[in-house]
Amino acid sequence: MSVINSFILQYGLISVFVLIMIEYACFPLPSEVVLPLCGAIAARNHFGFLTILILSIVAGILGSIFCYTIGNLGGKSIINKIVEICPKAKKGIFTSQDYFNKYSSISVCVCRLIPLCRTYISFIAGIAGQNIITFIISSIVGITIWNTSLISIGYIFSESWVKIMSHYNDYKFLVLIIPISVILIGFGIKSYIHKKHHRIRL
């Protein structure tokens, strides 16, 4: 964490962009640490919250498109190669694949909020040949919710972010459950309105 901290302090917004893009490109950097840290350092250096958020979203999308492209060009062989190099990635990859097979486009959005799946879903969507526009839109929604949640924690509690992160395991389920609940409720309401409108027309 001290290395990441020093890197951000030395290179400012550029380092924030690079770190987040790398994390979304499936390199082993924990967003649960990187994003709150970026928020905390941004607050201490008087960077605007909206600036850091937009920067993080753009970086996340570019990193995700990178993985999508690799998956799209490499096919299933790329998954086998990743599992071979990093066996720990197997669970996240196959969980992402199950979600995508069941829920298609919505899975990209929801998986952005699930630690084990959030980055690997880009490979799965690429392998499946999902429409790139659909992929980007779904990713933007999920990435925005996830990044906003974690950057806000660091930004608001910048003076005590170290203590906050030391208790992350105690409350991380809230960071996960709340955004997912909002998405599911939103889709539920949309589905209800659509069905009701369809019945009225009949």
What pLDDT, on a 0 to 100 scale, did the predictor assign at position 58? 95
What is the C-alpha R_g of the chain? Answer: 18
pLDDT at residue 65, as a whole number: 94
pLDDT of residue 137: 92
Tokens of 147: 């990044």
At 189, is the secondary structure helix, strand, or coil? helix
Please tell me whether residue 5 adopts helix, strand or coil conformation. Answer: helix
Query: Tokens at residue 116, please?
Result: 């084990």
Instruction: Give the DSSP H or E segment for 61.
Output: helix 49-74
Which residue range forms the structural domain that includes residue 104?
A: 2-201
Q: Cα separation of 201 and 62, whole Å?
A: 43
How many structural domains are present in the chain?
A: 1
pLDDT per residue, tens digit, the chain (202 aa), is: 556 667 766 777 788 888 889 888 877 676 777 788 888 877 877 778 888 899 999 999 999 999 899 888 887 777 777 777 777 767 777 777 777 777 776 778 877 877 767 777 888 888 888 889 999 998 999 899 889 988 888 888 777 665 655 555 555 555 555 555 655 665 566 565 656 555 555 5
C-alpha–C-alpha distance, residues 85 and 74, integer Å? 15
- CB neighbourhood size of 35 (10 A): 28
Q: Give one DSSP letter per residue of 138-181, joined into a string.
A: HHHHHHHHHHHHHHHHHHHTGGGHHHHHHTHHHHHHHHHHHHHH
